[in-house]
Chains A and B, each alone.
Chain A
Amino acid sequence: MNRAQKNRLKDKVFKGLGITATFLGIVILAIFIGFILYQGMERISWEFVMSLPSRFAEQSGIYTAWMGTVWVLVCTTLISFPLGVGAGIYLEEYGKKNWWNTFLEINISNLAGVPSVIYGLLGLGVFVRMMKMGNSILAGSLTLSLLILPVIIVSTREALRAVPSTIKEASVAMGASKWQTIWHQILPASFGGILTGVILALSRAVGETAPLIVVGALVYVPFAPTSPLDEFTVLPVQIFNWVTRPQQEFVINAAAGIIVLLGITFVMNGIAVYLRNKWQSKMNW
């Protein structure tokens, strides 16, 4: 075999390797999910969804867990959405090139890299203890809001940047003030993109476990929460609790819980992707 042939062979081998690598992760994930479905599907029932947790695996359900997840999701949205979008607007539209804004940006990129369990320690120290919120939904939601803030800020800025500067110019030239331009032109034009980013960030919050365990999302909560100051647990924490029990029946419960959690995560991501595509096709200038 001469050199050229050898090189061509290498090329072909790598191509095969590339295809394998690309689909390896996806295939493994598919196998995992298949396994989960196989194990947990039998447990999925109306009763499972509507039952309180119990010492007995067969009577145990995820009612308090998903109620807690919904509460946390709503509170986290209410806190992180305005904060994150506001900060994104500030940095993208008002920020000038000076040391303060450079510092803000470096800080945000740093926060994005802080492990989520550290946010849990922050929430434990500040919200649970210092502000005396206890192991409440509010404390958990505030913690998660800070955790996803960098993600929302970054995606908001990207969406704002995608609005052509010609639109801003046209508005400003009409005598619109800065905020009028942002409110009437830039935000409507970038809203799809912003919403996509926020939903993706929230779907991450829904799956977060470690920071909520640290702020004390109790593993056993006998009642569904009725106010933001109530104690709570969430789906991922409930799953963690079940996984760590030795009995096989609880493992099946965990698998069933995972099916529900994955369902929520995938639906949220699906909505985000749908919105992004719709927004991109509508907003091509």
Chain B
Amino acid sequence: MSRKLKEQIIEKVLAFCALVTILTTIGIVLILLVEAVGFFQEVSIVDFLTGTEWTPLFADKSYGILPLISGTLLTTFIAIAVALPIGLTIAVYLNEYAPRKLQKVVKPLLEVLAVVPTVVYGFFALMIVTPFLKIFIPDLSGFNALSPGIVMGIMIIPFVSSLSEDALDAVPDSLRQASYGMGSTKFQTAFRVLVPAASSGIVVSVILAISRAIGETMIVAIAAGQNPQFTFDPTVPIETITAYIVQVSSGDVPQGTIAYKTIFAAGITLFVLTFILNNISYWIKSRYQEKYE
């Protein structure tokens, strides 16, 4: 075989590997669409998007997604409320205050938080955090949004901290020196100069963290309950979109039934939510990279 032909074949094979990623996207969209279309032939899309009752597995069926969305947003909000302040504080501390040596030790240690499987975090939430929180909130239900939300927040700390730190690191040193030159303390430099200058990168990190929290499944499936309720009370059992998909999948729902199709309707809702967030972050990122190059 001639060298040239061989080279061409290799390039084609490699191009195919890259093409698999496109096929994956097409596959996801098609599968979700096809099943969801089947679902929406039986359930009106308006009822789906505005209904506050989600009981597809009961005798008296309702298909309003709002309870799952409220559950998802509630746990996500709690997670971000934990991860953002802690993650950002870590980022500023590591970037401005910590000695290089400490940075080198701490960064991989923080990554460990992201390495632990989520099913393990679910166990923590259910078995440790909820009983612990009950000491302070006696009314807290055994399944609730608060505990998995907090645990999820701990899990995504490294997302926020490492992406935010990258953003802070990308701020030109001249800005930093200008601030010090005017007699600013580290604290003033960090929060009046660096954080604003790195704001777009920090926003990206937060959006990605939100997207991650929305898609997180096992922690909420284990510790938040299986009670779709349209509520923002963090102490009662709720259900998220992801947990619902797992709930149906672990049971034996026959293909073709409307209950089977609900997981794809829920899936497409989840996909659209995260897709929008990911693209916003991609868009901000590509704009802000231009700024410093």
Contact = CB atoms under 8 A, between A and B. Distances in A.
Nearest to B216: A115
A53 interface: no
Contacts of A150: 21
Given A179-B6, A239-B123, A117 B112 contact: no
Given A149-B20, A149-B24, A122 B120 contact: no
B251 to A, nearest CB: 10
Given A82-B17, A104-B18, A149-B24, A258 B123 contact: yes
B17 A125 contact: no
Given A21-B89, A89-B14, A243 B267 contact: no
Interface in B197-252: 208, 211-212, 214-218, 221-222, 242, 245-246, 249-250
Contact of A125 (B35, B112, B188): B35
Given A10-B187, A90-B17, A208-B117, A126 B123 contact: no
A29 B151 CA distance: 10
Contact of B25 (A111, A116, A254, A265): A111
Given A126-B27, A126-B31, A209-B218, A262 B120 contact: yes
A121 B245 contact: yes
A21 B165 CA distance: 14
Given A18-B92, A149-B24, A25 B215 contact: no
Given A11-B185, A213-B246, A216-B249, A243 B17 contact: no
Which residue of A39, A91, A94, A117 has the most chain B CB atoms within 10 A of its CB atom?
A: A117
Measured as residues with beta carbon below 8 angstroms from the partner, the interface class of chain A is 35 or more
Given A7-B188, A117-B242, A207 B117 contact: yes
B96 to A, nearest CB: 9
Nearest to A104: B18
B115 A261 contact: no
A229 interface: no
Nearest to A32: B124
Given A26-B112, A149-B21, A210 B242 contact: yes
Contacts of A243: 119, 122-123, 126-127, 222
Given A115-B274, A210-B242, A254-B123, A18 B222 contact: no
A87 to B, nearest CB: 4
Given A11-B186, A110-B279, A121-B264, A116 B120 contact: no
Interface in B25-75: 25, 27-28, 31-32, 34-35
B164 to A, nearest CB: 12
A120 interface: yes
A87 B20 contact: yes
A122 B274 contact: no
B180 interface: no
A121 B267 contact: yes
A114 B115 contact: no
Contacts of B124: 32, 35
A111 B6 CA distance: 31
B270 A118 contact: yes
B267 A117 contact: yes
A265 B117 contact: yes
B86 A35 contact: no
Which residue of B31, B86, B119, B185 has the most chain A CB atoms within 10 A of its CB atom?
A: B119
Contacts of A26: 109-110, 112-113
A19 B106 CA distance: 10
A2 B160 CA distance: 35
Interface string A1-32: 00000011011001101110110111011011
A12 B238 CA distance: 42
A87 B28 CA distance: 19
Interface in A94-114: 94-95, 104, 106-111, 113-114
Contacts of A91: 18
Contacts of B288: none
Interface string B9-25: 01101111110111011
Nearest to A110: B278
16 contacts: A17-B89, A21-B93, A25-B113, A26-B113, A82-B17, A90-B11, A107-B22, A108-B21, A121-B263, A121-B267, A124-B31, A207-B119, A209-B117, A210-B118, A240-B218, A258-B120
Given A18-B93, A209-B218, 7 more contacts: A21-B89, A25-B113, A26-B109, A31-B128, A36-B123, A84-B17, A219-B250
The 9 A-B pairs with the shortest beta carbon distances in the complex, nearest first, are A115-B215, A18-B93, A207-B117, A86-B17, A125-B31, A113-B278, A90-B14, A210-B217, A87-B17
Interface of B: 3, 6-7, 10-11, 13-18, 20-22, 24-25, 27-28, 31-32, 34-35, 85-86, 89-90, 92-94, 97-98, 106, 108-110, 112-113, 115-120, 122-124, 126-128, 154, 157-158, 185-188, 190, 208, 211-212, 214-218, 221-222, 242, 245-246, 249-250, 255, 263-264, 267, 270-271, 274-275, 277-279, 282
